[in-house]
Each structure stands twice: as structure tokens, then as C-alpha cells.
Structure 1
Amino acid sequence: MKENDLPYRDAAAVMLLNGDNKVFVALRIDNAAEAWQMPQGGLEEGEDPEAGMLRELEEETGIRPDLVRVIARARRTLFYDLPEDLVGKVWKGKYRGQRQHWFLARFLGTDADVNLETAEPEFRGWRWAEPAELPRIIVPFKRRLYEDVLEEFADHL
């Protein structure tokens, strides 16, 4: 099966803002590069995207759902394609990329509420970033996606 024939994996993602309107970003544990990303992950069969986003956020960062207030949802579903060299390696080669439901949310907790030492750690570091710097600090194959996310939530930033 060619990569273009593969489906997209359904996923949810969050642009999490602190009180200074900075965005939570983290470094993946499986990538040695200085490539940051916002929390995101695959949806389970039949899972509501907002519930999936909150579940993924807690699984990846330790941030509990009661510390998050959803502000907005992207008007459209956003996509990204994996680079050719990753298609056969990621997600057991079943997907070409992700179809993501994006949410903008306010973090109501403190930095002490972030805990990357989760049951299955995905990140090795985190920080708060200016929204405008996101496309520059992300892995290159997600740059267009992050530009689209910024466009979707521009009225709130």
C-alpha cells in the first residue's frame, strides 16, 4: 500500500495557554532534536474529541481536566502528513498522518501541576512559549499545521 492510500489517524490536540497567554510546549522523549510540540494524541474508537484531548493532556503532562477550561474549538479539522521516512515506522505503518480536532484552552493551575513523569512518559522537557514562535520551534513537517492552528485561534490570542 502506497503512503497516499493510507488513512489519517483521528486525533485531538490542545493549545494550552497560561495566564500570560503563553503556550505549553514540550520536547518528545523519542526525538533528540530540539523540536517542541503541543500536547496531542490519537482518539480511541468512538471517543468525543474534547474528552480525548483532556485524556491525552493528562496522560502526557499530568495536568488534570479540572485545571483546564476550553475557550474555543477549531472551526475545521486540521491535518498533517508524516515525512516518507516515518510513514512505515510510526503507528505500525497504518496511517499517513493525523486528522486533528484542535482546542484552545486556559490552564487554571500552576507550573507545579505539570508532571511529565507519567505512566508512559512522552516528553522530556517543557516550557511556555510565545504563540508567534510556534512554527519556528516545531518539527518541520508540522510547521504548516501550527500555522493553521495559529490562524484558527488568532481572535483569542
Structure 2
Amino acid sequence: MGKDKKKQKAKDKKWNYDTLPYRRGIGIALFNPAGRVFVAQRLDSPGPAWQMPQGGIDKGETPLDAAWRELHEETGVTSAELIMESEGWLSYDLPAELAKTLWKGKYRGQEQKWYAFRFTGEDSEIDIEGEHPEFSAWKWADFRTVTELIVPFKRPLYQKVVLAFGHLAK
């Protein structure tokens, strides 16, 4: 067995999915005036993998500050107003094989604070081709059925988001 394979085997032995912490992050349900929600197709996922904007919280940043930053970075949107936030933190687990590579194998998933925003601008403001694009397409979707668009491992989280913010959809 080569030196690199031995190192990887030792690293795999130390890595324990069950003891990994959650990465702190935020999620955003951006509603348009018609009560539909923004979803976008991920660039890095084969097949349909839609999601609402989300991301990590930078050091020294509050969750709400992170939500505003991520909203702008991922969608270009600045014309929005905060409607509400989730009562607590909502989490999802990555599949173990994905957890090994994503975020350098440091986290088992994310624990997120979710925010609902009302989009007050025009659709032409939305720009998913920012400095570090994450999406290939976007659309306004029926919020009550958004869980059907999401990758399976995030569906339980999205079901909780729909329960928390469902009354905001029309």
C-alpha cells in the first residue's frame, strides 16, 4: 500500500460522522408580492437541485447580517424587507459521503436560522451571476410545494420552514 493510501486510511479512521458538529448558517425564504418564493438551481449538483438562498455566518456577523449578505451575494437583491424569523435553529444532516468532502469534513450538516423576506423590487433586479455564482437558473415557486424541488436530504428541514412560514404564502 502506498504512502498516500495509508495516510488516507488513517485519516478516514479518525473521522467520525456521528461526533461532527453542525455548521452555523442562515436560510432565506424570499417571497414576491404574489406570495411565491424564490428558488434557484444549484450549479454544483447534477439533475434538479433547487434551493432557497442560504449560507454560513462569518466571524463577527449576526445571523440577520449574514442573511442580508447572503441574499445580496446569491440573488443580487437589496429591495426586500424582513417579515419574520424562525423561532429556533433548524438543522439538516448531510449524507455521510458528502460530509466527508464538503467543508473539509468538519461538519455533519448545518444548523440554520431562517428568515422570511418580502421582495419589494422588480424581477430585473435579480442577478444570480454575481462574483461567486452558485446557481444556473431561478424561478418563483409555490411555497407549499417547494419541498418537492429540494434534494432529499434537505426535505425534512424545508418541511419545517414551510410550517414556520407557510402562512406568508398566498
TM-score tier after normalising by the smaller chain length:
over 0.9
Question: Aligned partners of 1:149, 1:120: CA distance in 2, in Å?
Answer: 26
User: Does structure 1 residue 36 correspond to structure 2 residue 50?
Assistant: yes
Question: Aligned partners of 1:91, 1:131: CA distance in 2, in Å?
Answer: 29
Task: Note the 1:93-104 alignment, pairs <5 A.
Answer: 93-104=105-116
CA RMSD after TM alignment: 0.9
Question: Aligned partners of 1:37, 1:120: CA distance in 2, in Å?
Answer: 17
Question: Aligned partners of 1:13, 1:56: CA distance in 2, in Å?
Answer: 9
User: Does structure 1 residue 138 correspond to structure 2 residue 144?
Assistant: no
Alignment correspondent of 2:88: 76
Alignment correspondent of 1:120: 132
Letter in 1 for 2:156: R
User: Does structure 1 residue 106 correspond to structure 2 residue 106?
Assistant: no
- TM-score, structure 2 as length reference: 0.88
Question: Aligned partners of 1:91, 1:155: CA distance in 2, in Å?
Answer: 34
Letter in 2 for 1:81: D
Gaps of 5+ in 2: 1-14
Once the two structures are TM-superposed, the CA of residue 154 in structure 1 deviates from its matched residue by 2.8
Question: Aligned partners of 1:120, 1:22: CA distance in 2, in Å?
Answer: 25
Question: Aligned partners of 1:53, 1:153: CA distance in 2, in Å?
Answer: 16
Alignment correspondent of 2:77: 63
Gaps of 5+ in 1: none
Question: Aligned partners of 2:32, 2:167: CA distance in 1, in Å?
Answer: 17
Report if aligned partners of 2:41, 2:136 keep a CA contact under 8 Å in 1. yes
User: Per the alignment, in what secondary structure is the counterpart of residue 45 of structure 2?
Assistant: coil
Count of equivalent residues:
155
Question: Aligned partners of 1:12, 1:135: CA distance in 2, in Å?
Answer: 17
Letter in 1 for 2:18: N
User: Per the alignment, in what secondary structure is the counterpart of residue 124 of structure 1?
Assistant: strand
Question: Aligned partners of 2:16, 2:119: CA distance in 1, in Å?
Answer: 41
Letter in 2 for 1:47: E
Question: Aligned partners of 1:34, 1:153: CA distance in 2, in Å?
Answer: 24
Alignment correspondent of 2:68: 54
Report if aligned partners of 2:77, 2:127 keep a CA contact under 8 Å in 1. yes
Alignment correspondent of 1:2: 16
Identity %: 44
Letter in 2 for 1:120: H
- TM-score, structure 1 as length reference: 0.96
